[in-house]
């Protein structure tokens, strides 16, 4: 009787396993494949090339995504996330590239190319019936939903972080109008996120200068409005783009518009833990140009032996009208004295 119950339980377990396997296969058959097998966590480089516009280059760093071109600032994490949704985009239909009319699909000269690590996608036109997008990659042409396209045509400004300070930036000292900021004011600047960011040709001249220095010695120089809700920052361009064919935005300033102004209290007694050296301060390690190098003798085994200073000759022996050539009488390869 017990053996019969055991056999029945085993048969029941086998039936359950078979039903689960069949349901899994049916679900997989109904689920369309995705555009790529890449995992977002494995990505290190993102490039968006668009016709007539500068290339947007994003690189992954230990602290998050960083825009490398056309500007060099921290990237907006949510915008990058919207872009990487393309990895999970379902493919509605796939055809071999040679069997398609590339010119009719807008793939002969695609206006947008997306590069994820080394995998490249070329975006073509729209299917006139269902309004799906044609995408070519690795010898195949896919038909996908067009939800990711707005992230591809977004301007470079949309990929810039709206935080005043980068995530890894740890402020240790700051000034407003050349007066040191208090510790609580530096802490208040950490994590401040602007309502929006804009490109500005220049900052008004009546603004207050604000300097914030991080623990690693890097500085950020801002120009702040009187109500402290508008912060201008010089927008660093990637110098490599000056030789590129694509046009680069020429606006030199990035304007952060804040909803609530941070409390910038001052502390005149605050001390800069890493003061910058004065421009006219002498370098204690510098060697004067008119000081001759020390004289040494070099033995056959490469060991240097300093020589005692010798009185300088003012003229050649027997020829008082001729100057002594440089190094006259010195033999650096002579044997070392006993």
- 139 Cα distance to chain centroid: 31
Query: For residues 295 and 302, what is the distance between their CA atoms, to the nearest angstrom?
Result: 15
Q: Categorize the per-residue pLDDT at 164 as very low, low, confident or very high, splitting at 50, 70 and 90.
A: very high
State residue 304's pLDDT score.
65
Q: Categorize the per-residue pLDDT at 310 as very low, low, confident or very high, splitting at 50, 70 and 90.
A: low
Domain residue ranges in the chain: 40-158, 162-257
Does the structure show a pLDDT above 60 at 190?
yes
pTM reported for the whole predicted model: 0.67
Does the structure show a pLDDT above 50 at 246?
no
Query: For residues 149 and 83, what is the distance between their CA atoms, to the nearest angstrom?
Result: 9
Does the structure show a pLDDT above 50 at 242?
no
Query: For residues 256 and 214, what is the distance between their CA atoms, to the nearest angstrom?
Result: 19
Q: Where are the alpha helices (DSSP H) in the chain?
A: 2-30, 77-84, 149-152, 183-189
Secondary structure (3-state) at 2 = helix
State residue 206's pLDDT score.
80
Query: For residues 293 and 334, what is the distance between their CA atoms, to the nearest angstrom?
Result: 18
Does the structure show a pLDDT above 60 at 4?
yes
Query: For residues 276 and 110, what is the distance between their CA atoms, to the nearest angstrom?
Result: 50
CA nearest to 158, candidates 230, 66, 78: 78
Contacts of 4 (CB under 8 A, 6+ apart): none
State residue 290's pLDDT score.
57
Q: What percentage of the chain carries pLDDT values higher than 70? A: 70
Q: Which of 1-10, 148-157, 204-213 has the lowest average pLDDT?
A: 1-10
Q: Categorize the per-residue pLDDT at 166 as very low, low, confident or very high, splitting at 50, 70 and 90.
A: confident
State residue 14's pLDDT score.
72
* CB neighbours of residue 154 within 10 Å: 16
Residue with tokens 């100057």: 323
Does the structure show a pLDDT above 70 at 25?
no
**Maximum Cα–Cα distance for the chain, whole Å?**
129
Could you say which DSSP state residue 21 is in? H
């Amino acid at each position: 009787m017990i053996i019969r119950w055991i056999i029945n339980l085993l048969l029941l377990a086998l039936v359950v396993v078979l039903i689960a396997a069949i349901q899994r296969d049916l679900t997989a058959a109904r689920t369309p494949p995705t555009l790529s097998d890449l995992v977002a966590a494995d990505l290190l480089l993102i490039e968006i090339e668009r016709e007539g516009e500068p290339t947007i280059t994003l690189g992954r760093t230990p602290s998050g995504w960083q825009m490398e071109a056309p500007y060099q600032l921290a990237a907006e994490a949510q915008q990058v996330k919207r872009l990487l949704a393309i990895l999970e985009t379902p493919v509605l239909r796939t055809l071999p590239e040679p069997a398609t009319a590339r010119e009719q699909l807008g793939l002969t000269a695609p206006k947008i190319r997306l590069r994820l690590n080394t995998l490249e996608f070329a975006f073509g036109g729209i299917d006139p019936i269902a309004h799906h997008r044609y995408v070519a990659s690795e010898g195949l042409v896919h038909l996908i939903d067009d939800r990711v396209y707005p992230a591809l045509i977004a301007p470079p400004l949309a990929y810039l972080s709206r935080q005043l300070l980068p995530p890894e930036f740890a402020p240790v000292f700051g000034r407003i109008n050349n007066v040191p900021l208090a510790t609580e004011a530096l802490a208040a600047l950490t994590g401040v996120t602007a309502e929006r960011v804009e490109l500005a040709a220049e900052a008004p001249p009546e603004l207050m200068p604000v300097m914030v220095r991080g623990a690693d010695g890097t500085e950020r120089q801002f120009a702040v409005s009187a109500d402290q809700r508008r912060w201008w920052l010089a927008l660093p361009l990637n110098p490599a783009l000056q030789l590129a064919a694509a046009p680069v935005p020429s606006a030199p300033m990035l304007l952060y518009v804040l909803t609530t102004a941070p409390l910038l209290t001052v502390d005149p007694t605050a001390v800069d833990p890493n003061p910058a050296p004065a421009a006219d301060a002498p370098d204690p390690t510098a060697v004067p140009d008119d000081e001759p190098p020390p004289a040494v003798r070099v033995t056959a085994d490469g060991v240097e032996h300093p020589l005692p200073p010798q009185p300088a000759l003012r003229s050649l022996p027997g020829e008082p009208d001729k100057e002594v050539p440089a190094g006259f009488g010195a033999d650096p390869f002579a044997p070392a004295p006993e």
